[in-house]
Chain A
């Protein structure tokens, strides 16, 4: 393996441009394939396919030029990065979009759990992407940040974002207004964040704080 890598670096002078060229050519190929049925029209009456196809060819050309230059001119190496971080970030984003409100993909419908679940979920999953992640810190962060988001976006700015799980809304008594429920639960979360933050400082109690 190592000998092959060494061999590679001899004729492949700019691995970054090599990869970049391939990326551009594949973008171009995908665009050309997707626009295969569109009518290019004529110059005096341009159809919907003309510009995308011209652009795709131009992108492909840039890709080929970059690809060729990788063998002629020395350039930057391709840095090795692990994919775990980016994948966890994407997972966090998907978790947010699947839980914020009911979402139907094919036969599956996700339950709408609202901001109060989606934000902590995305913070904890996303937070794990860092090599120095500590679950305890992330729990405190999510419990502290979620109520702030609820106050700013749902209470002050009145943006139409579901806050609570749909099932939970029916549990609350009729007389309560939505805003007061929001404020009370936000305050409870902040109190929980403070409590976990302080219990977490004592080593013996940290585990209990996490498991809750």
Chain B
């Protein structure tokens, strides 16, 4: 307990420094500004804003990126409530009842409950991270190459199982992602792999290039193909403070959502994406009058929004303690950390405690800021929502180009976002989801490295992955999950959950 407090106070002494406070504020503000644009999700927002954090010191840049992430998430919820265009999977649920509330002139209450619920969830999740950080890191330090490899397999399997849609297609995308990660010079033998003899490919494909291509450029191409229908609420926003009745209805869903989100977010696959769906289903089951759901029930906003935010935050746990990103956003954070010269993993906490705890404390600070800056600025967000897409996407395109160019000052990098963007667009057209590809790409290098090391230690025997107890356990869990996902009954239940 004492170390817990001293760690947190170290964290707050870093996070409350004037510069870091300013960066967290700026991150939240810019993140919301971009995230609120319809059709721009958190991943695209972070990818686009990544370059502006390059010139900062590592702690500052991670604090700012985390701020951008929360801002983008919150911006996405605002869009979901006011326009009924969820920017990403996790705010789909918010759109159902939130938008109905907005249509009835209660947008202010919906936004306020979402913000208050998120703040509460964020505060709890910060404590969860602080409490679990140290013990999980100790576990992680016992892991060798064999265990790491199996853990990553489990993470990828979980990502497949928890995502909606076809299992086969998700597996294929992960494999393509890992395949892309092997492009470039092989570090052990020095061989050039799949580079077409091109010099700029010998360093491998840049992570930021791939992320921006499939979440920025391909997304623009996809949006252009669909006719735009935007349903911006014309009713007044209404009071911004929920009344006593609304608060009474929301506090229990907020508590339950927070609990559910915190637990699901820790899973080393994309558990957080499940949290709002699970919370919505639960609130509907528990409600005295389930028919209110879908027609503007405040519980349907309070629960999922809290679950969403708690999950978003606890999904930092696998990244910070094990060095394994659970979803596309965390994959971007790995990219950002690597650019800053930090290798994510258990050694971050032991070797760089002020960065680790500073970042955790800044999560709470960021949540507080969201509450303070977002509600008064709702009017501005509403005006931004009215910008037509035909003006928005050229600007996004220009930002993507400048952002990518500024990373390495290479025009060829910029060309690559065009090429990969087209490939990504064609894959989306064939019904593939881009997120597993990115996850596979990020984990690919780590996996190959650990697999090689494990096989060297075992003198080339593949049985090492099953004879080591921890590794065997992880693989068994993954196998059970994968089989379960393919069994028709479970699969039906899973699909139903996403449809709801």
Contacts and interface: CB of A to CB of B under 8 A. Distances in A.
Contacts of B105: none
A97 B412 contact: yes
A129 B182 contact: no
A89 interface: yes
B168 interface: yes
Smallest CB-CB A-B distances: 6 pairs: A44-B460, A20-B430, A93-B418, A48-B186, A97-B414, A43-B460
A43 B394 contact: no
Nearest to B183: A52
Contact of A19 (B390, B394, B430): B430
Interface string A127-156: 101101110011001100100010011000
A115 B189 contact: no
Contacts of A56: 179
Contact of B398 (A17, A69, A76, A145): A145
A59 B189 contact: no
B199 to A, nearest CB: 12
Contacts of A19: 429-430
Contact of B172 (A38, A63, A149): A63
Contacts of B179: 27, 31, 52, 55-56, 59
B215 interface: no
Interface residues of B, number: 66
Contacts of A100: 401, 405, 411, 414
B225 interface: yes
Contacts of A75: 431
Interface stretch (A117-125, A173-181, A191-199, A202-210): A117-125
Nearest to A120: B398
B189 A48 contact: yes
B245 interface: no
Contact of B461 (A17, A43, A45, A137): A43
B182 A55 contact: yes
B189 A89 contact: no
A180 B248 CA distance: 58
Contacts of A62: 168, 171-172, 175
Report whether over half of chain A's contact residues are helix, strand or loop; otherwise say mixed. helix
Given A52-B193, A66-B169, A16 B431 contact: yes
B425 interface: yes
Contact of A20 (B399, B432, B460): B432
Interface in B245-269: none
Given A51-B451, A97-B411, A100-B414, A157 B52 contact: yes
B427 interface: yes
A98 interface: yes
B175 A47 contact: no
A185 interface: no
**Which size class do A's interface residues fall under?**
35 or more
Contact of B389 (A48, A66, A92, A130): A130
B189 A132 contact: no
A89 B398 contact: no
Contacts of B289: none
B395 interface: yes
B382 interface: no
Interface string A103-122: 10000000000010011001
Contact of A90 (B412, B421, B459): B421
Contact of A145 (B168, B393, B395): B395
A149 B413 CA distance: 19
Interface in A11-66: 16-17, 19-20, 23-24, 27, 31, 34-35, 38-39, 42-49, 51-52, 55-56, 58-59, 62-63, 65-66
A62 B169 CA distance: 8
B429 A45 contact: no
Nearest to B461: A43
Contacts of A119: 398, 401-402
A105 B394 CA distance: 26
Contacts of A55: 175, 178-179, 182
Given A100-B414, A130-B389, A93 B191 contact: no
Contacts of A48: 186, 188-189, 191, 193
A43 B455 contact: yes
Contacts of A42: 460
26 contacts: A19-B430, A27-B179, A39-B191, A42-B460, A43-B460, A46-B451, A49-B193, A52-B179, A52-B194, A63-B172, A66-B172, A82-B225, A89-B397, A93-B415, A94-B418, A97-B405, A100-B414, A119-B402, A122-B394, A129-B393, A142-B394, A153-B52, A157-B52, A157-B55, A160-B406, A161-B402
